[in-house]
Amino acid sequence: MNKKFDAIVVGAGQAGPSLVDRLATAGMTVAIVERHLFGGTCVNTGCTPTKTLVASAEVIHQARRAADYGIRIEGSITTDLRAVKARKEKIIDASRTGLEIWLRGMKNCTVYQGHARFESPHALRVGDDLISADQIFLNVGGRANVPNMAGIDRIAYLTNTSILDLEVLPRHLVVVGGSYIGLEFAQMFRRFGSEVTVIEKGPHLLWREDADICGAIEGIFANEGIAIRTEAECIRFEARGQDIAAGVNCAVGQPEEVVGSHVLLAVGRRPNTDDLGVEQAGLKLDAHGYIEVDDQLRTNVPGIWALGDCNGKGAFTHTAYNDYEIVAQNLLDGRSRRVSDRIPCYGLFIDPPLGRVGMSESQARAAKRKIRVGQRPMTRVKRAVEKGESQGLMKVIVDADSNEILGAAVLGPGGDEAVHCFIDMMSAKAPYTTLRDTVHIHPTVSELIPTICGELKP
């Protein structure tokens, strides 16, 4: 069946459904196509399931620490991974089902479930249906990258998606990749009861962060018994009976290796653009398969936009949602919003969490900025000490000439929330002195943010 719409949205991730709502409310006829699960990565295999698992891991960790707080728990404390998974699935299902019901009941919206492929710049085939529109918005997301490492084709490995289906705890989980996804799974499975080793090619975990942040995170992991192997320049795999050996160097004679029961590959993401028929639309991709867009998310083909993980402009739910805001407000509200206007910010949801915004100290110095830095360890934050969670630190980077806040990091209890003090100030383009002179509530972690703003040093 052939059908013409005013607009087509491909993908029901974080940008797509909200955009459909805005367009349909404006009176446009809109089709949304979803080939698998409503909600995209965030709801199904990303934020929602992992933060649910992180919460379970925090509970068992606190239970094991009960004696530190004067609380006695009789008997053993163990993880029921099936029950942990069931809780996760219940939360996911509620989000996914609610979203689908909303879309299917939306006025002016038609839902297609199937795989969309371009047949021309403004026509897509979805099963037996050919749908077309003058405006097409691609929100097709991404998936785990599986690099061509030696021996990878001869072992069974896990990705960030398949590890969510485990019902039996790994004896020894080997995590390949010391960045955000890998570290969250490493800590949660260590807390669930697995032996865990993290293998990273770089010199440090999260090696793009400042050395003090990297060092603090490595210390947190070491304190929980997580083994770390950095500078692994030659990663390869080999089956060893029921186990898997992961080689970490190429030394002649006795190469070093780590033997585990399970291997998790956490080495980046790739966009879902290889089966979209982009060549039929004439869309340009970059060397990594991302759809090339301008500062307002327009592709090289008039009338086609790309939002979310598939455009390479941000790998987070909040950047995907901001993509929706940019496109919708520019099209419907007469705005001129741009991707380059947003301030980079993100979190690492280990425990304690890391909240980050803007430039790191090393990035600012590399850019030859004249800076001043304020810093304080969590051991000098009373609220953190009182909670028994004094690992980590907070820091702020300020331009010495303009007083502009260039960036900040909060690694500690509530760091993923406290960092918004800096995000909001930077968005308002307020000088650091505004934050320095603001009265915060006592006793909190955030109350020390004005303090470090008053203790800046070159």
Q: Active-site residues: which are they?
A: 442
On the CB side of 273, CA atoms within 13 Å amount to 27
CA 209 to chain centre: 15
**352 upstream amide cis, omega within 30 of 0:** yes
Beta 262-265 vs 172-176: how paired, if at all?
Answer: parallel
Beta 123-126 vs 116-120: how paired, if at all?
Answer: antiparallel
**Rounded distance, CA 57 to CA 53, Å?**
6
State the sign of the Cα–Cα–Cα–Cα dihedral 232, 236, 240, 244: positive
206 closest CA partner among 185, 188, 183, 225: 183
**Rounded distance, CA 258 to CA 223, Å?**
20
Q: Return the HEC string of 289-347.
A: CCECCCCCCECCCCCEEECHHHHCCCCCHHHHHHHHHHHHHHHHCCCCCCHHHCCCEEE
Evaluate whether 399 touches 417 at the Cβ level (below 8 Å). no
Evaluate whether 398 touches 430 at the Cβ level (below 8 Å). no
